[in-house]
Amino acid sequence: MCKSALHPFLAALPKCEHHVHLEGTLSPNLEFTLAQKNNISLPGNDAAFTSPSSLLERYSHFTSLDDFLHYYFVGMSALITSSDFEELAWEYFKHAAEDGVLHAEVFFDPEAHTSRGVPYQTVVAGFKAACQRAERELGISTELIICVLRHLPVESAMEAYETAVTAGHFADGTLAGLGISSTELNKPPANWKAVFAKAEKQGIRRTAHAAEEGPPQYIADALDILHVQRIDHGRRLVEDPVLMKRVADEGIMLTLCPISNVCLKGMSSMKDMPIRKFLDAGVHFSINSDDPAYFGGYILDNYCAVQETFQLSVDEWNLLAGNAIEGSWCNDERKRELRKALAHLQWRRSLQYVYRSLQIFDREYAPGIQYFKIHRTRHPGQAFNPLINERREFG
């Protein structure tokens, strides 16, 4: 729990998560359990893999995005069967529900699995089962977003995209969109123009990781070349005021991941996250967990970290929650339900404010009113004087 007096409000706030990689929710405990079940040998030449606790300890010392990605892709080696993928996603959804998530748009990386012999259909079947269970048992609406990987050849991305199209997963709603992730450095968005052009032609939603490591120009390229409708991360947008105004004016949403950016040394501390600057500039953004099993912070932890650093007001949090709803890729009916949940929380908080005000009034002013009534009864012809010493009767 964070130290902020707003913690109960933050916990109750209806949340939409737009930036979480399901593979990044693989806890060390589950990684070791699945590796043993599937007879997968974890690296023996790295002391971090001695035990789940030693691996978790290593996660607190990432030096860069590439350092994290090494452990991220090693962890995936334990995922083999559809039930493994379902269990992985289900663990995330349970935690998300505890944190107040009502809608989750989750990434997965098919290339990272098919490249090691796990069929695409196996991956999707497991994740889809977990999504359906989350909707059925937890009341969380979900959207699956396929992510192609920057560190692999463009041809691999095209193959992954075509596999999903051939399976009918965009057409039948199994997949909600196309994204691109992994290391940004020296991998400009334009390299994937052909893949994203196909998706645009087929009416598929598009998003891209940009300006986490790479320059703000990657945001402009993602918008102008890939024609994305959302930017994942986007932290470095603040370095380009002209582009920042454009993003604000066009209502492009950023999916910020504060704890992740600190853990991967993109920033020296949380105060370097441009939360206040984005709010002041009218930039729409949501707050997300990215790869919470690796960074030690799920979505509520990120909300708390932001609050402890920036001391946002209730109105600002309501604005962020509302923008997150509007920037979601769920249908209009679900958005109405999410707006209603947010309005209900605001109504409850208003009632609590009135109740507390009445308590304060009763504590601070009721004795004086009672004094006035008694004094006027005993001295009906005399003007009320609060200094008269009959106040002792109400001690």
User: How many helices (H) and strands (E) would you count in the chain?
Assistant: 18, 8
Residues 292-322: b if buried by 16+ CB within 10 A, e if exposed: bbbbebbbbbbbbbbbebbebeeeebbebbb
The reply, when asked if residue 291 is annotated as ligand binding, is yes
Both tokens of residue 187? 């991998």
C-beta of residue 277 within 8 angstroms of C-beta of residue 238: yes
- In the chain the beta strands, taken as DSSP E runs, fall at 15-21, 101-108, 141-149, 175-181, 205-210, 230-233, 253-256, 284-287
Residues involved in catalysis: 212
Strand order in the sheet with 205-210: 15-21, 101-108, 141-149, 175-181, 205-210, 230-233, 253-256, 284-287
Q: Which helix (H) or strand (E) holds 307?
A: helix 299-310
The reply, when asked if residue 19 is annotated as ligand binding, is yes
> How does DSSP assign 349-383, residue by residue?
HHHHHHHHHHHHHHHHTHHHHHHHHHHHHH-TTS-
Q: Which residues are annotated as a binding site for Zn(2+)?
A: 19, 21, 209, 290
Q: Which residues are annotated as a binding site?
A: 19, 21, 209, 290-291
Q: Which residues are annotated as a binding site for substrate?
A: 291
